[in-house]
Amino acid sequence: MNLYTEQVLKRRRRIIAIVTAFFIVMQLLWVFVPVIFAVLWSLVDPDHPWSYPDAFPKSLSLEQWKYVFEYTNILRALATSYTIAPLATLLAFILSLPTAYALGRKKFIGKQIVSNLILLPIILPGMVVALFLSRVFSILGLSQKFMGLVVGHCLMGMPFMLKILTTSFASIPQDIIDAAENLGADTWAKIRHVFIPMVLPGLFAGTIFTFITSLEEFNLTFVIGTPSFETVPTILYSFLGYHFIRTNAAVVSLILMVPNIIMLLIAERMMKTDYLSASLGKM
Amino acid sequence: MKKILAILIIAIVLCAPVFAGGKKEAAAAEKDYTAMTFDQLVEEAKAEGEMVFYTWWGENHWVEAGKEFEAKYGIKTKVIVGDAQANANKVISEGKQASGTIDAMMIGGDYLKPVMDLGLFYPDTYKVLPDYEKLAPNLREYVEGIKNNGELVPLYRNQTGILYNPAKVKNPPQSWDDLVAWIKANPKRFGFNDPSKGGSGQSFIHAAIGEICGGLDKYRGDKELDPAKTANWNLVWDWMNSMEDYWTYTTSNNDSISRVNSGEFWMTIAWDDDTQVNLKKGSLFKDAVLYVPEFGLAGGGDCAGVVKNSENKAAALLFLHFLTTPEQQIKMNERIGSYLARTDAKGKMMLLPEEQRQNNGVAWIPAPYKVEFINQFVKNVLMK
Amino acid sequence: MKSEKLNIFLFLLPGAGFILFFLASAFILTILQSLGLFTLIGESKFTFEHWKMIFEQEFRDSFLFSLKVGIGSAFGTLLFSYPIALYLRKKGFGKKTLGSLIKIPLFIPALVVAFLIVNLISYHGLINSLLMALGIIDEPLRMLNDQFGWGVLFVQVWKNIPFQLLIISSSLATIRDDLEDAALNLGANKLQVIGRIIIPLSIPGILVAVILVFIMTFGDFAITKVAGPVYPTSMSVRMLTEAMTFQEWNRAAVMGVVIMATALIFVSFYTKIAKLLQENSK
């Protein structure tokens, strides 16, 4: 390689770095400006309202936070939410795996119908979920039970897990599998060296979506869970719904948002490979 | 094709339990609370030992009251603050079960009708509570125009009024004509919410019907809608369409208030209790003024009921009684600023002067008319 | 062959069977209610009467509004998410950080997103204040609850970019580098590689990303309620008004059936088109 191309490459890398840095700044604005406003609203001093034309609150206090912690069971709800979510995600993964495999790699009659019907949980309007699905749960004795909530959340998140895993299975090129077989790979070796690496990015996406669906699920949880179990959304909706109060809404929003963002950043740090750019070409 | 058939068959089999569950299950033999003395009711409530109360706002009061109730009677009390509409969904979806999870709940006018129509409340509440007669007489019969047959216990009264920014409005209008003139003189500085999304917007249309279509008295007492009496409502809709450029429709009671706070509106229609809450939370400037104009705006209140399929009815009845004792009513007024439902006690927090409430507060016309004007407003104003 | 069929059935059971077991009855009950059966309040009687509502203007307006928001959000988001996914495909300085930042909106519930954005676009919100300070406008713009639904579209795109990005990225990740390298060696330029190899191969991912966002936004309740126009409103919001305010439970059920049917029809139709596209490009 001569000096000239090396310089071109160097320049190109620098341009990419600058572009990326620019996007990072844009993204910080795009994401954090709205969040900063929520922080400001959550710190409004009840004695000094934040009104037009003040660009910022005149004085800040922790009153709104104290209020939410004092009069709601937000801490217990956080614990409940973050216990249900991983369990529901795990259950969704276990249940989805075989079905996604069949939908992704097998040919059979009625495949299109099945792959549409698995979308039902997200197609049903929230009101139908609250009125009818909750009845099914209570008839099955799953109402007011921790397991019931896990099953319910799993159900609502499964379309994401199933759809994405199906796509991942479907996009494994048959020649790789054939090649593995020609090399004498047994089933286990095939799973380890072909299926797992190829499905991993999809699995990661599906896991995230199921996890968040669980954290955000409201309609079903409210009917079959409360009063025995409160989750963060069941509390959030009382402040953001019919009786909307800006200051408390800001507090509850932040309580729900911040742990998620921290969790995401930690998870990203821990992921060894950068799955977004993970490529199997190097396999 | 076989697959579809198989799926259909499986689905129908799966539905069977829901259909079976659809039939009313026989409730366990019910105790007759109406025959009990108050002491017997307390005993019964203590024997039940626990109760769950659902509400949708003012959590600081209901949570504290729950603790005080628990301390007084030793009955474990859980207060759940949910969304008003979700609460209604929940009680409706549990309506057909032999026993539900809600013992008593607060219910607002916006969601009351379906719950009343389904007969989900314990009907004899008014016979059991010793102080029932001392509660606001108008609310014991109707809540926002919906008949409640004494099944509901009024917890507080509320009133809609005009909320304005005194820095911008020097002479707040008292007559309807003055209000209209002000709105025209200050385009886009007035707004009210879509009536299908909250009572304050309904109150404005209610007043417009009264002013434009010949008073509200002719509707009173009707159980069914009389089409002859709504025939001239098109006058209201025509007028509203002609005013479209002068005002803004908002999406909720609190949205109207927050637009006054953010400087977009100088005047709006708001509930007194919502105004009070926003003042307390720092989301409305302190010198905002609420008043009931002389032409009159609607008022009412919110009630709570004991749910029919509750297993802790005595405790629930006792809790509702407890909430309507003078001490608790006064505490409620201090904590959340609501106006007492009890007529023989007075609170200290007064957003609206007593005489404005008495003289300018108007009762809602019956529910069938209210539903009709909401519907017609959407068809004839919003859709245009 | 028989055992293969049984195998497939057993594979489908935990996933599809689980979903059908819980949801078939809700699905069927909604359809029956739309036909006047199993009515919550009042008499049950088989009738097509309630279905006449689909000819009403309010229904049409809500339906078209939801359709606009659904299609607009699904494809509008794609305009951002696909290029970002392509950009982030290869490793590079800061890209990991950027990837994490982009994902944040995913972890913020819809209601909260609506609340956050409303703070920005309200009459004296940040955007208006900035525009006024820069002297671009004299009077604040009324962007909240705008007639067209731009507010809703904005919130939906904000929320769904990372959603689609994740799906598309996971689909791009399965494309092997050797294909790309081979094409480059054969003298294809970068654009040709993207057009001929990467896009066709990532169609399944795009398909799923668009379908899922369409379904979620078509049936949206929370965001439309906070940031949407006063009229027309989305199917879900209208459905609730029918049920709760007007006690028209059967009409609400009709709307429920239409929401579900539209989603299913869109999915089938769109899948077919995407398949054709993929086959043509081969």
Over residues B361-382, the pLDDT tens digits come to: 999 999 899 999 999 999 899 9
Q: Please give the share of chain B, as a percent, with pLDDT higher than 70.
A: 92
Overall average pLDDT of the C182-187 stretch: 83
Please say whether the beta carbons of B288 and B163 come within 8 A: yes
Q: Within an 8 Å CB–CB cutoff, is residue A148 touching chain C? A: no
Tell me the shortest Cα–Cα distance from C86 to chain B, in angstroms.
Answer: 40
Kindly list the partner chains of chain B, i.e. chains with 3 or more CB atom pairs below 8 Å. Answer: A, C
**Banded model confidence at residue B8, pLDDT cuts 50, 70, 90:** low
Residue matched to tokens 């999809």 = A202
Using 50, 70 and 90 to split pLDDT, how confident is the model at C171?
confident
CB < 8 Å to B83, chain A: 222, 237-238, 241-243
CA distance A17 to chain B (A): 41
Q: Do C244 and B251 touch (CB under 8 A)?
A: no
Q: Which residue of A has its CA nearest to B84?
A: A242
Which residues does chain C have within 8 Å of residue B374's beta carbon, measured at their own beta carbons? Answer: 245-246
Task: Report strand pairing: B152-164 vs B267-271.
Answer: antiparallel
Nearest CA in chain B to A65: B281
| Residue to test with chain B: of A42, A51, A111, A127, most B Cβ within 10 A | A51
Q: What is the pLDDT of residues B225-255, one digit of tens each?
A: 999 999 999 999 999 999 999 999 998 899 9
pLDDT higher at C225 or B266: B266
Angle in degrees, CA C86, A166, C204, rounded to 5: 40
- What is the distance between the alpha carbons of residues C275 and C272, in angstroms, rounded to a whole number? 5
Of B10 and C241, the structure prediction assigns the larger pLDDT to C241
A182 min Cα distance to partner chain C (Å): 20
Mean pLDDT confidence for A176-181: 85
Q: Is B142 helix (H, G, I), strand (E, B) or coil?
A: strand
> Where does the pLDDT of residue B1 fall: very low under 50, low under 70, confident under 90, or very high at 90 and above?
low
pLDDT for residue A207 = 92
Q: Is the pLDDT of residue A273 over 70?
A: no
The whole-number pLDDT of residue B98 equals: 87
- Nearest-by-CA chain B residue for A230: B80
Q: What is the pLDDT of residues C14-62, one digit of tens each?
A: 999 999 999 988 889 899 999 998 877 777 888 898 999 999 998 999 9
Chain C partners of A257 at a C-beta cutoff of 8 Å?
A: 107-109, 112
pLDDT band at A231 (very low <50, low <70, confident <90, very high): very high
- What is the pTM assigned to this prediction? 0.90
- Chain B CB within 8 Å of residue C269 CB: no
Angle between helices B199-212 and B367-377 (to 10 degrees): 90
User: Taking 70 as the threshold, does the pLDDT of residue B14 lie above it?
Assistant: no
| CB contact at 8 A, A261 and C137 | no
**In sequence order, what are the residues at sequence separation of 6 or more whose Cβ sits closer than 8 angstroms to the Cβ of residue A200?**
A275, A278
pLDDT tier at B24, thresholds 50, 70, 90: very low
Other CB atoms within 10 A of residue C212 CB: 23
Lowest mean pLDDT among A111-120, B317-326, C111-120, C256-265: C111-120
Q: How far apart, in whole angstroms, are the C-alpha atoms of residue A76 and residue A69?
A: 10
- CB-CB contact of B248 with B188 (8 Å): yes
Q: What is the pLDDT of residues A134-155, one digit of tens each?
A: 888 988 999 999 999 999 999 9
Contact criterion met (CB below 8 Å) for C114 and C121: no
- Compute the radius of gyration of chain A from its Cα atoms: 24
Lookup: tokens for B198: 């909250």
The conformational region for residue B215 under phi > 0 = left, psi -120 to 50 = alpha, else beta, is left
Asked if residues B152 and B143 have their Cβ atoms less than 8 Å apart, the reply is yes
Provide the token pair at C217: 């936004």
Mean pLDDT, rounded, of chain C: 87
B311 in reach of chain A (CB within 8 A): no
User: CB distance A123–C215 less than 8 Å?
Assistant: yes
CB C264 within 8 A of CB C93: no
Confidence band, pLDDT 50/70/90 cuts, at residue A179: confident
pLDDT band for A278, please (50, 70, 90 cuts). very low
- The pLDDT of residue B23 is 42
- For residue A131, the model assigns a pLDDT of 85
Query: In the predicted model, is pLDDT for residue B223 greater than 70?
Result: yes
Length of chain A: 283
Rounded mean pLDDT of C141-157? 87
Q: Is B286 exposed, middle or buried (0-12, 13-18, 19+ CB in 10 A)?
A: exposed
Q: Give residue B2's pLDDT.
A: 61
End-to-end CA distance of chain C: 31
Mean pLDDT of chain B: 90
Phi and psi dihedrals of B337, rounded to 5? 75, 5
Shortest alpha-carbon distance between residue B221 and chain A (Å): 30
HSE-CB for C166 with a 13 A CA cutoff? 30
Instruction: Using alpha carbons, select from A102, A215, B319, A278 the residue that is nearest to residue C174.
Output: A278
pLDDT grade, residue B330 (50/70/90)?
Answer: very high
Task: Give the residue from chain B lying closest to C129, CA to CA.
Answer: B262
Q: What residue has token string 């991983």?
A: A86
pLDDT band at A161 (very low <50, low <70, confident <90, very high): very high
pLDDT more than 70, % of chain A: 94
Structure-model confidence comparison of residues C187 and C164, the more confident one? C164
A184 CA: distance to closest CA in chain C (Å): 22
Q: What is the largest CA-CA distance in chain C?
A: 75
Residue A269: count of CB within 10 angstroms of its CB: 9
- Judged by DSSP in three states, A226 sits in coil
Q: Does residue A189 carry a pLDDT above 90?
A: no
Q: How far apart are CA C163 and CA C152, in angstroms?
A: 17
**Closest chain A residue to the Cα of C222, Cα to Cα:** A241
Contacts of A49 in chain B (CB under 8 A): 261, 279, 282-286
> Alpha-carbon distance B309 to B329, whole Å?
27
**Amino acid B206: pLDDT:** 97
What's the mean pLDDT in B64-89? 95
- Is residue A269 predicted with pLDDT exceeding 80? no
Q: Per-residue pLDDT averaged across C134-162, rounded?
A: 87
Q: pLDDT band at A184, cuts 50/70/90?
A: confident
CB < 8 Å & 24+ apart, contacts of A63-68 = A64/A247, A64/A248, A64/A250, A64/A251, A64/B281, A64/B282, A65/A251, A67/A248, A67/A251, A67/B60, A68/A248, A68/A251, A68/A252, A68/A255
The pLDDT value recorded for residue A43 is: 94
Does the structure show a pLDDT above 50 at A276?
Answer: no
CB pair distance less than 8 Å for A282 and C236: no
On the question of pLDDT at A39 being above 60, the answer is yes
Chain B contact for A44 (CB, 8 A cutoff): yes
- Residues of chain B with pLDDT > 90, as a percent, come to 74
Q: Does A158 touch chain C (CB under 8 A)?
A: yes
Report the gap between the CA of B81 and the closest CA in chain A (Å). Answer: 6
Question: For residue B7, what pLDDT is reported?
Answer: 61
Go through chain C and tell me how many residues it has.
282
Most confident by average pLDDT, B100-109, C131-140, C144-153: B100-109
| Best-predicted range by mean pLDDT (A195-199, A265-269, B90-94) | B90-94
Q: Would the pLDDT of A101 be above 80? A: yes
- pLDDT for the residue B22: 45
pLDDT at site A277? 42
Q: How far is C17 from chain A (nearest CA, A)?
A: 9
Residue identified by tokens 């654009």 is C191
Are B56 and B84 contacting, i.e. CB atoms less than 8 angstroms apart? yes
Structure tokens, B51: 């109760």
* pLDDT for B268: 97
Residue B216 confidence (pLDDT) above 60: yes
Instruction: Give yes or no for residue C208 having a pLDDT over 60.
Output: yes
B377 with B243: CB under 8 angstroms?
no
How far C232 CA sits from the closest chain A CA (Å)?
18
Q: Is the pLDDT of residue C282 over 60?
A: no
Q: Return residues 139-198 of A near B (CB < 8 Å).
A: 139-140, 143-144
In 3D space, the residue among C192, C186, C174, C164 whose CA is nearest the CA of residue C281 turns out to be C192
pLDDT in tens, C248-263: 889 999 999 999 999 9
Tell me what pLDDT residue C281 has: 67
**What CA–CA distance (Å, rounded) separates C141 from C137?**
8
Q: Do A132 and C268 touch (CB under 8 A)?
A: no
Chain A 19-78, residues with CB within 8 Å of chain C CB atoms: 20-21, 23-24, 27-28, 30-31, 33-35, 37-38, 41, 52-53, 55
Both tokens assigned to B285: 């400037």
Phi, psi angle pair for C143, to nearest 5°: -95, -20
Q: Give the single-character DSSP code of B150.
A: T
Better-predicted residue by pLDDT, A185 or C250: C250
Are the Cβ atoms of A46 and B83 closer than 8 angstroms? no
Higher pLDDT, B24 or A84: A84
* Mean pLDDT on A237-257: 84
User: How many pairs of residues across A and C have Cβ atoms under 8 Å apart?
Assistant: 285
Is A219–B89 a contact, with Cβ atoms under 8 angstroms apart? yes
Closest alpha carbon to B265 in B360, B200, B335: B200
Q: Hey, is the C-beta of B378 within 8 angstroms of any chain C C-beta?
A: yes
Of all residues in chain C, the one with the smallest CA distance to A135 is: C26
**Cβ pair B281:A248 closer than 8 A:** yes
pLDDT reading at B16 higher than 70: no
Answer whether A277's CB lies under 8 Å from C95's CB: yes
Please state, in angstroms and rounded to a whole number, the distance separating the CA atoms of residues C23 and C85: 34
Of residues A125, A129, A134, the one with CA closest to residue A223? A134
As given in the structure block, the two tokens for residue A107 are 């040919």
CB contact under 8 A, B94 and A223: yes
Element (H, E) at B306: strand B297-306
Give the up-direction half-sphere exposure of residue A90: CA atoms within 13 A in the CB hemisphere: 7
User: Who has greater pLDDT, A69 or B17?
Assistant: A69
Q: Three-class SS string for C152-185? A: HHHHHHHHHHHHHHHHHHHHHCCCCHHHHHHHHH
Q: Give mean pLDDT, residues B326-342.
A: 93
